[in-house]
Structure 1
Amino acid sequence: MSQLPERTDVVVIGGGVIGNSIACQLAEAGVGTVLLERGALGSGSSGTTAGVVRTYFPGNPLISSLAVRSLAAYHAFSERTGTDLGLRRIGLLVLFTDEHQVQDFRDTQAAQQAAGVDVELVTAAEAVRLNPLADERTILAAAWSPEAYACDPAAIVRGYATAAQQAGAILRTETPVTGIDPDGRVHTPAGSIRADTIVCAAGPWAGTVAAMADVHLPVTTYPVDMLLTDTPDSAPRSALPMTIHPSSLRIRSWGDRILVGMGRPAPDETRQSWLQRVSHHLGTTFPALAGDGLEYGWSGDLDVSPDGMAFIGRDPSRPFLYAAGFSGQGLCQAPAAGEIIRNLVLDKKSWTDTAGLSAARCLSGSVEAG
């Protein structure tokens, strides 16, 4: 393990897509940056998702605005660096099964479009045209957003990590943080380093890392399993869009197979019961998949906030910043999150009001800048 430098402007803790985006943008702004990752780059939540970047997040225009900005940044990054991020447009289809979901969409569509989201309400028949595996009889309508892309999360992490290093950042893997002193000294098995500012981007471990600095960050872990099933002969040759059902069931094409997600068994639920529940929703919504065997794909832990929206901000009493609790949406927000953190370090205003992203919203009685 390489010896750490004695000091730096910023230590970023966490080497997933969020941490590498932050390190890249700080280093390119001329900020001395050292990133510390407890394992391999991208070995946490970044490799756990369904590998889709999208701009539409129902009910939350603020998240959508971050996602819109992030998608544009991915395209610009790929063009600027020549890095292939695996971006391939597939679109997003959100199915509605009752009237209040349709009304909620209508109530928020203007705010979503103001945030830059391309999304429209489509009929059940149009939804089935977009995803022919869906059963029109089970759908009232759907939201269709064409700006959703399959991507390669590992390539995104590698791309930002490479750009960060080229800009002067130091990246250290297999270097877990074991302690944080009040003066900003960060301890690891490879030695200690003092930073003017610490940024916590540690994903599922963010709460633990923050506690080392005597900061309360209400991030918990949520385990997920991703499943695979065979593509039926009736499926179209073109890729299926990412399709989300109100039950939280989601599917999309995955090579020549279909990726299926719906969380993981509840604490009081056996794995077999959960698989039966997934199979039931799958067969009801997508009849052509009824009876097909579900195979294990991969699993992991997501970092989750109490309200499902990321924490991006600063502690009010010390130079400790955070970007965590992305609740499975980190790939969609990483470039924007990195930009916000960079601006906080440089004491610059961001393009939008980011106060609502502060952890203060979930900490009763606290007041926090952000």
Structure 2
Amino acid sequence: MSRLPERTDALVIGGGVIGTSIACQLAEAGVGTVLLERGELGSGASGTTAGVVRTYFPGNALISNLAVRSLAAYHALAERTGTDLGLARIGLLVLFTEEQQVRDFQDTRAAQQAAGVDVELVTPAEAARLNPLVDERTVLAAAWAPEAYACDPAAIVRGYATAAERAGALLRTGTPVTGIDPDGLVDTPAGSIRADTVVCAAGPWAGEVAALADVRIPVTTYPVEMLLTDTPDTSDSSALPMTIHPSSLRIRSWGDRILVGMGRPAPDETREAWLARVSHHLGTACPALAGNGIDSGWTGDLDVSPDGMAFIGREGSRPFVYAAGFSGQGLCQAPAAGEIVRDLVLGKSSWIDTSGLSTARCLSGAAEAG
């Protein structure tokens, strides 16, 4: 293992979609950048995904704002680098089964549209037309947001990594961080490197990495499992939109099968009971799938914040910046997060008010707003 350079302007810890986006945007802004990844690029939370980038996040227009900007950035990345990100528009359908859910949509629609989200309320019949597996008798209405795309997360990570290296960044895999001094000296098995700014983008390990610098990022690790089931023989061959049920059930086409997600078993629930619960909701929302066998697809860990919104900011006056706790939504926010971190490192005003993204909102003012 070759040794690291003695110093760098910015040291990014984490080689997932967040870290590679940050490294790319820092390097392209002329910032000397080194990225360290403990495993392989994209081997953490970036690989634990349904492979969809979307713009509509019900109940949180700030996340939607980041997602709208990020989707535009993905299209631009594909165009300027010639990288095939696998983007294919499938749309997002959010089902409502209670009147309060419909009212909540109506109350927040203006804020979503102000964030740039294209979303409308549709009837049960229209929801069933958009996703023929949906039983229109079980829903009151649905939100339809056409700007949702199936994608290739690994290709996105590779695209950002390649662009970062072309801009002069050094990316090192298999290089875990073992220590971080307050003055920016970072220790690894390949030697130590001093950074003017340390950027923590370590996903599920963000809390541990930050603790090395005596910084607290209140994220927890949340294991999830993606499941697969068969497509009904009578179903339309066209791709199903990403569909979200109030139970937290999510489905979409996955090749010739259907991808199913619903988190993980509750703490007091066996895996068998959880699978039975998934099957129940699947059969209720999509009767054509009732009784289908469910196979394990893949498992992984997410970095989750207490309120489901990412932490992006600077730790007080110290040279430590963080971007973590994306709660399974990092793929949809990575380009915008990279821009925010770049501006924090450069000391520039961001394109958006980032005060609400700081850890301060969950640490009672213990951290300074970014």
Q: Which runs of 5+ in 2 are unaligned?
A: none
Tell me by how many angstroms 1:234 deviates: 2.3
Say which SS state the counterpart of residue 221 (structure 2) adopts.
Answer: strand
Matched, 1:90 2:90: yes
Task: Return the letter of the residue paired with 2:78.
Answer: S
Distance 1:22 1:227 in 2: 31
Q: Which residue of 2 aligns with 1:196?
A: 196
TM-score normalised according to structure 1 size = 0.99
- Map of 1:197-236 to 2, 5 A cutoff? 197-236=197-236
Identity of counterpart residues, as a percentage?
84
Q: Are the counterparts in 1 of residues 356 and 369 from structure 2 also a CA contact under 8 Å?
A: no
Shift of 1:139: 0.2
Mapped to 1, the partners of 2:367 and 2:200 lie a distance apart of 19
User: How many Å separate the matches in 2 of 1:43 and 1:175?
Assistant: 13
**Residues 1:35 and 2:42 aligned together:** no
Per-residue deviation, 1:266: 1.2
SS in 1 for 2:132: coil
Give the Cα separation in 1 of the matches to 2:223 and 2:234. Answer: 33
Q: CA RMSD in A?
A: 0.7
- The alpha-carbon deviation at position 367 of structure 1 amounts to 4.9
Partner of 1:348: 348
Paired position in structure 2 for 1:292 = 292
Residue matched to 1:283? 283
Deviations 1:108-162 (A, max 9, x none): 0000000000000001111000001001111000000000000000000000000
Distance (Å, rounded) in 1 between the aligned partners of 2:295 and 2:216: 39
Cα offsets for 1:65-84 (capped at 9, x unmatched): 00000000000110011000
- SS, match of residue 26 in structure 2: helix
Q: How many residues align?
A: 370
Within the alignment, does 1:317 sit opposite 2:317 as a pair?
yes
Task: Say yes or no: does 1:69 pair with 2:53.
Answer: no
Cα distance in 1 between the residues matched to 2:149 and 2:21: 19
| Counterpart residue number, 1:160 | 160
Q: Which residue of 2 aligns with 1:244?
A: 244
SS at match of 2:160: helix
Alignment of 1:15-26 (within 5 A): 15-26=15-26
Contact in 1 for aligned 2:14/2:201 (Cα 8 Å): yes
2:308 is the alignment partner of 1:308 = yes
In structure 1, what is the equivalent of residue 253 of structure 2?
A: 253
What is the DSSP-based 3-state SS (H/G/I as helix, E as strand, rest coil) of the residue aligned with 1:301? Answer: strand
- Distance, in Å, in 1 between the alignment partners of 2:122 and 2:341 is 37
Asked if 1:332 corresponds to 2:339, the answer is no
Pairwise CA distance, 1:53: 0.1
Matched with 2:171 is 171
Q: Residue type of the partner of 2:95? A: L
Secondary structure of the corresponding residue to residue 225 of structure 1: strand
Q: Which runs of 4+ in 1 moved over 4 A?
A: none
Q: How does 1:46-57 map to 2 (within 5 A)?
A: 46-57=46-57
Structure 1 unaligned regions, length at least 5:
none
